[in-house]
Amino acid sequence: MMFNLPEKYKVGKKIPMKDFIPKEFKPDAKKKIKESVKSVILSYQIMGEDIPSLVNEEYNIQVIQFYDFELADIKRAAFIANLYQEIIKSPCVIRLHDSSNEAYSFALKRLNQNDSTQIVVTDKVLTAVYPIVLPSTDKNNLLRELAYGNVKNNDNKGSFYFELYLRAYILTNDKVYAGAKSFLSKPIWYSLSKQKEVYALLCNLASNKEKVQKAVSNSEKMKLNQEIRQAISELDKI
């Protein structure tokens, strides 16, 4: 069972691959998908208005979907996750697994401002690869933190999914900031604006840390290090 989701959201529908590969894809892309993906199941979907839908100019979130992709090899996880997060329009969690390992994919999406039938993926996170059978503390932490009953922000489906996403992001990028995991037990989850503030600071920190590695001039390094210290100091205050 994925994230202890209530039974009422269970679907368990196997999706024929022929319906799940966009017709406009080139033959080589279709071939690559067929070689990578053994089966797809729509495991759960959060529908109905127990958690209100979010529909406005920027979002149309009436359902959150949970998919199970069986892969020939977990090494294809990033390729398949990136591809299908762009194809599936609703916010979704994709569990990707082969016979011995698994990973989870999340993505933030908004409506395309020029064509509201299309979506734009703005941010993505793919967790570490976890063993399926062997005990894994990291996997247990993820499943516990993202369990349905642990999600605090049920204002609407958009805030519910953002919380899942941010929890997964923190657990996957906890090396970026020493106190990252402490946010999991802080009261930020009741406020979407607070969550977005934490996420923006963590992303900014990760990006600047990468840039420092590539920076050539000392002045550039100094400027980046100053921004890194600033972000850390703001995170420390939350």
pLDDT tens digits, 9-59: 999 999 999 889 999 999 999 999 999 999 999 999 999 999 999 999 999
The structure tokens listed for 125 are 């996170």
Residue 55's pLDDT is 96
Do both 53 and 12 map to the same domain?
A: yes
> What Å distances lie between residue 29 and 36, 206, 224, CA to CA?
11, 32, 39
Do both 66 and 184 map to the same domain?
A: no
| Local structure of residue 110 (DSSP, 8 states) | E
Residue after which a domain boundary falls, among 126, 154, 173:
173
Instruction: Flag whether 93 is in a domain.
Output: yes
Residue 50's pLDDT is 96
Residue after which a domain boundary falls, among 136, 151, 173:
173
Residue after which a domain boundary falls, among 173, 192, 211:
173
Do both 192 and 122 map to the same domain?
A: no
Do both 154 and 233 map to the same domain?
A: no
Instruction: Flag whether 82 is in a domain.
Output: yes
Residue 1's pLDDT is 65
| Strand residues in the chain grouped as ranges (E) | 10-14, 37-46, 54-55, 60-61, 64-71, 92-97, 101-112, 115-126, 130-131
Residue 165's pLDDT is 98
CA distance 228 to 121: 26
Residue 2's pLDDT is 83
Do both 158 and 182 map to the same domain?
A: no
Instruction: Flag whether 60 is in a domain.
Output: yes
Question: Going by DSSP bridges, is the β-strand pair 101-112/54-55 parallel, antiparallel, or unpaired?
Answer: unpaired
Instruction: Flag whether 97 is in a domain.
Output: yes
Instruction: Flag whether 127 is in a domain.
Output: yes
Do both 58 and 125 map to the same domain?
A: yes
CA distance 64 to 151: 14
Do both 129 and 38 map to the same domain?
A: yes
Do both 59 and 94 map to the same domain?
A: yes
Do both 129 and 187 map to the same domain?
A: no
Closest by Cα among 160, 133, 131 to 147: 160
Residue 27's pLDDT is 93
Do both 72 and 183 map to the same domain?
A: no
- Asked whether 165 and 202 are in contact (CB, 8 A), the reply is no
Instruction: Flag whether 2 is in a domain.
Output: no
The structure tokens listed for 101 are 């390992």
Domain count, the chain: 2
| CB-based burial label for 167 (10 Å; 0-12, 13-18, 19+) | buried
Residue 84's pLDDT is 97
Instruction: Flag whether 1 is in a domain.
Output: no
- The parent domain of residue 226 ranges over 178-237
Instruction: Flag whether 65 is in a domain.
Output: yes
The low-confidence residues of the chain, meaning pLDDT below 50, are: none
Output the CA angle 109-114-117, nearest 5 degrees.
Answer: 60
